Structure 1
Amino acid sequence: MTETAANKAKEGRVARRQRRNRQALIRAASAVMSDKGIDAATMLEIADRADVGAGTVYNYFKSKDDLAVAVLEEIMQGLALRVESATAGLDDPAQIYAIALMTVLETATEDQRWRQLLNRAGIVSDVMYRRIGPFTIDLLAKAEASGRLTPGDPALAWKLSTHAIVGFALAISRHEVAPVTIPTAAARLLCLAGLDAREAEEMVARPRPMLPPEQHLHDLSPQEG
């Protein structure tokens, strides 16, 4: 093997090891934060659970908050994939979008890994836009093309919706509104996308398909070469 090829192989192994370490830390943080909450979780406990040195954590994440945001990014991306899988047999993009809205609203108010970051509204809405947006923006575009919804600019409609979702979830966490109003909030967001109010209320009341269990992309650990 030439020196250049050897260096490339070494770099490949280093990159894979770094990826595995990062994934292990996110997986460990997700588990610890689910059990104890973000505030009670410690970087040392997360490092121990990930089976890496305590100092290694800071090679990948500047702070516990940064690690929590990485966990949130994965939760959101996984949520979009789960909704997409559960709704694969449905033809109406407006109905699928309604299911996505209800699911996101419920998760934002029930999952403490998500809920404890709501005070960082700008970060949470940005992550939601980036991680869930590819799915929801595509739905809005399809719904507009089929005449089911009239969001205008699908990306802007989703951007506005992410901020509304964060604000609504924060209001629930502060006990300013009750969780039973989630369907009402989802219906209003459907109206924002151009659906008639009466149909929006009927749509969010429909039974929803069961989502597959939460999975972690990092559970599929690549083998080191």
Structure 2
Amino acid sequence: MPDAPNSRATRQRKQKLPAPAEATEGRQQRSARRKRETRARLLDAALRLVAEKGMDSVAINDITEAADVGFGSFYNHFESKEGLFSALVEWVFEEFADMLDRLASGLSDPAEVVAVCVRHTLMRVRREPVWGLLLIREGFSVHALSWGLGQRLLRDSQSGISAKRFVVPDHFLCLISVTGIIFAAIASELHYSARVTPVVERPNASGLDEQNFAERAATVVLQALGLKRAEAERIARLPLPGKPEIKVCRTKTRVR
């Protein structure tokens, strides 16, 4: 059959051409990827700006300019600045709180759960100062206890009290006290971090340049919950379970 070679070549050329459905799927995937990237840039820019100035001092055009995104594109991802802020809180805090839950899922001692959470929180602050700045700025807001980290602390402290592991005269005031300790530790970590103050300028008496600062803070938190110092120190120095899988925020800033 003389036309067999030509027919075979035609079939091969047709096989190389993408089907209409495949081409459409490829365009949809590229569009979805660009949309995810744009949304991430907006969140990343908002993280830095809100951490530095606070939500009320940041306008939508500030965020779009910092993200190098058109003003109109903002509304393709968020209905309002408040909507972006809610997404930012979920991205920055809720995912981290969920990660802490996974790490502590195999622990039966409420005291160890609290210690693990405190240590990982301070360790992340050292890695990501902007995250710590936002945590301090928004952590003292009126709705702080309704967020993931606040809700976990409330839940874990109540669990320890119910199990008679924690002995406190007033749960609510104890929670406020513990929260204050944690935020003070975060502020200290930010202030004396190697990213902020050169090693030669750090006050040696503070001990904040030592690797066990997170453990020391966890010890104080456990003492505030009613544990004796020796036991609190032992629990705060136990090996950390697993390794945290954190979506590191790309934004970097210099803490002042």
Matches within 5 A, 1:55-204: 56=75, 60-61=80-81, 71-117=88-134, 120=137, 123-126=138-141, 128-131=144-147, 132-175=149-192, 177=206, 178-180=208-210, 181-204=213-236
Distance 1:94 1:60 in 2: 40
Shift of 1:200: 0.7
What is the CA–CA distance in structure 2 between the aligned matches of 1:147 and 1:38, rounded to whole Å?
38
Letter in 2 for 1:148: R
Distance, in Å, in 2 between the alignment partners of 1:146 and 1:118 is: 29
Over residues 96-120 of structure 1, what are the superposed CA-to-partner deviations in whole Å (9 max), with x where a residue is unaligned? 1111111222223432332333673
How many Å separate the matches in 2 of 1:61 and 1:24? 18
Name stretches of at least 5 consecutive residues in structure 1 with no aligned partner.
Answer: 1-22, 217-225
Aligned length: 186
For 1:221, the equivalent position in structure 2 comes to none
- Take 1:142 and 1:185, find their aligned partners in 2: how far apart are those partners? 20
Q: Tell me how far apart the structure 1 counterparts of residues 79 and 46 of structure 2 sit (CA, whole Å).
A: 20
Q: TM-score, normalised by structure 2?
A: 0.58
- Distance in 1 between the 2:180 and 2:120 partners? 16
CA distance in 1, matches of 2:92, 2:172: 21
Larger radius of gyration: 2
**Residues 31-50 of structure 1 correspond to what in structure 2 (within 5 A)?**
31-32=44-45, 42-46=63-67, 48=69
Aligned twin of 1:6: none
- Specify the alignment match of 1:13 in structure 2: none
Amino acid at match of 2:72: G
- The aligned residue for residue 28 of structure 1 is 41
CA contact (8 A) 1:25 1:47 kept: no
Q: Structure 1 vs Structure 2: percent identity of aligned residues?
A: 18
